[in-house]
Amino acid sequence: MNTGFYKLSRNKQKAIYGIGLAINDILFLGASYYAAYFIRFYTNLFAPSLVSYTIDERYVFYSLIYIGFSLIVFLLFGLYSFDKIYTGPKKYLKIVVSVVVSVFLTIGFGKLFEGYPFSRIWI
């Protein structure tokens, strides 16, 4: 029985699929940046932390830029393509390579803009 999603045209299915994946990536990338900042600034895992209840607004702004970089890279690698889903090991390689490229873009952004106010200890 074809109901809901399957009643839509193929183009609408592709659009919904791509948008759904992008929203999923935005949510999980945002959560991962928040978790990274929380671990970095609110725990004593790496260094004594200062007690604070907010994350610096600059980190939120740059996280949005990084998420944008990642989404563009994922799009360029065809990870949001409805027709290429479940293509096997090639898809997994594309995922790994696209994540590595987005991390290098993040590092490059940090190196390129010296006025960029964040810790460069990891670069």
Q: What is the pLDDT of residue 74?
A: 93
Domain tally for the chain?
1
Q: Indicate whether 2 belongs to any domain.
A: no
59 is in which domain, residue-wise?
8-112
Q: Is residue 62 part of a domain?
A: yes
Q: Is residue 123 in a domain? A: no
pLDDT digits (tens, 9 = 90+) for 64-79: 888 998 999 999 998 8
Q: What percent of the chain has pLDDT over 90?
A: 25
pTM of the model: 0.77
pLDDT of amino acid 109: 79
More confident residue, 23 or 116: 23
Count of Cβ atoms closer than 10 Å to residue 66 Cβ: 19
Residue 96 pLDDT exceeds 90: yes
- End-to-end distance of the chain based on CA atoms, in angstroms? 54
